[in-house]
Structure 1
């Protein structure tokens, strides 16, 4: 159940909004964070989706972001607050057999129509073929930087994976070719959050210090940056929409503020390179 103390922006979000000079603009959106029911309109939207990114913790407590995919109908609203995700997290995925009773952050993206909705809550059930989430927050984000594409919900099944701490040439190539990735962050009390990031192909750079990307203007809520202000641990998910390859990164992130804008620096601690189920572009 939602803790009333979880409503509204937390101290990290407020601090980042203040530094960015958008506190007044953000305050107008604060009601979106209040607990609310999954409306019939949202249920209809979710019923037509084939993709969801989720952020949670593995058995060691490390944060990861993973894709959850399936044919239309795999996202089922069972009640005003209960969402069932009928998908299997493959054995090669770092969140395979994710433990229940942890906070889970999710975002579903309709790439074709350029719409996205974030839903965060408590993972009640985790089995081989379904995740059940008690949704505590659900709100839409603007279509900005969503790269338009159509996904085929019938693809490959994840299996064996390559794991390590130092990225290989093929991993760097996937990152540098990306026009989309997903960022996972968490707050020690509020729980996990998953957000979509997009830009022109090559907007994520890789150098001797790790990964970095420019922060493009958004909705001024700074949910992800607010979490990072409290806890720098983060997770990135890159997808090759043509082949179904996935690259999961776990590490730490920090925001660098400059006169010409903000950039985010990410230091890789661990990676998992695998294959996603049902992520194909056509």
Structure 2
């Protein structure tokens, strides 16, 4: 299916190849992808709530909690937990984007489709399945389960000082986008700490670095500016979910002031959900990606 948003962004960025992006992505889960999924402990999911606001969240479990029983189905043995903005969202079928990421090897793949709850499982009918390059992924190693802790959620309309410090020190976040009729998508963004800047309690900015020129995230934002962000506290097991609106700034002079930036994205916060105990795992840091601009 031709994605008008992707084509508009590709043309503006100087990409002339036809069939690049969603148009060249298949729906089937190949055996190598099914094997990769079965080894994962963490996937990021993207979906919109009933009001149309996109959110990103995390599903976790031991290897084998994600399976592909056939080439058009992916099953997660788990659902968004209490306090997660997507808790209960899949009682009815809706678009979903899944990013399976293995920080230790810097491998990742994306699965987009339609999902619905089946008991305690999430069943996904796939529509797009593809792998991504390893750029900008910092290595991390699974360090075991988090100690038991009460799971609580705090909901606000803007970022607290503590949350602003969390974001300013982050080297990784995940972004959820969705366009009606074209589906949802979950993607990764990474860089050295400080690559996301915080201006006040409601504005974030990050650089768009050189990637694979598919522009699936920016293509969705071209048609629908609403998106969701997820920051993980890898060491302490907490999650920070934001939803709001993003705008791509194509001003080359502004981008030139940020090392490695092709363009900048400004994000205005509309709602914040911080979940204590939202990530029931511990991950130890390894090293930064060699692709990260200084």
Q: Is TM > 0.5 for Structure 1 vs Structure 2?
A: yes
What is the deviation of 1:87?
1.7
What is the deviation of 1:43?
1.0
What is the deviation of 1:151?
2.1
What is the deviation of 1:34?
3.0
Q: Among 50, 57, 62, which residue is 1:59 paired with?
A: 50
Does structure 1 residue 264 correspond to structure 2 residue 265? yes
Matches for 1:181-260 after TM superposition, within 5 Å: 181-208=173-200, 210-259=203-252, 260=256
Cα RMSD over matched residues?
Answer: 1.7
Task: Check conservation: 2:172, 2:190, Cα contact below 8 A.
Answer: yes
Q: Any idea what SS the aligned residue of 1:121 has?
A: strand
Q: Among 96, 102, 123, which residue is 2:94 paired with?
A: 102
Q: Any idea what SS the aligned residue of 2:152 has?
A: coil
Give the structure-2-normalised TM-score. 0.88
What is the deviation of 1:201?
1.1
Give the structure-1-normalised TM-score. 0.91
Say how many residue pairs are matched: 272
Aligned to 1:45: 36
* Unpaired runs of at least 5, structure 1: 1-6
- CA offsets 1:195-254 (integer angstroms, 9 cap, x no match): 011111111000136000011010101001011110100000001101011100000001
Q: 1:38 to 1:157 in 2, by over 3 A?
A: farther
Aligned counterparts of 1:152 and 1:89: Cα–Cα separation in 2: 22
Aligned counterparts of 2:190 and 2:145: Cα–Cα separation in 1: 24
Aligned counterparts of 2:115 and 2:225: Cα–Cα separation in 1: 23
Q: Any idea what SS the aligned residue of 2:115 has?
A: strand
- CA offsets 1:88-109 (integer angstroms, 9 cap, x no match): 3211111111133111011010
Task: Check conservation: 1:90, 1:157, Cα contact below 8 A.
Answer: no
Task: Check conservation: 1:32, 1:139, Cα contact below 8 A.
Answer: no
Q: Any idea what SS the aligned residue of 1:163 has?
A: strand
Aligned counterparts of 1:262 and 1:77: Cα–Cα separation in 2: 37
Aligned to 1:93: 84
- CA offsets 1:62-117 (integer angstroms, 9 cap, x no match): 21100011110010111111111012321111111113311101101010000000
Aligned counterparts of 2:245 and 2:196: Cα–Cα separation in 1: 16
Task: Check conservation: 2:96, 2:112, Cα contact below 8 A.
Answer: yes
Aligned counterparts of 1:213 and 1:160: Cα–Cα separation in 2: 29
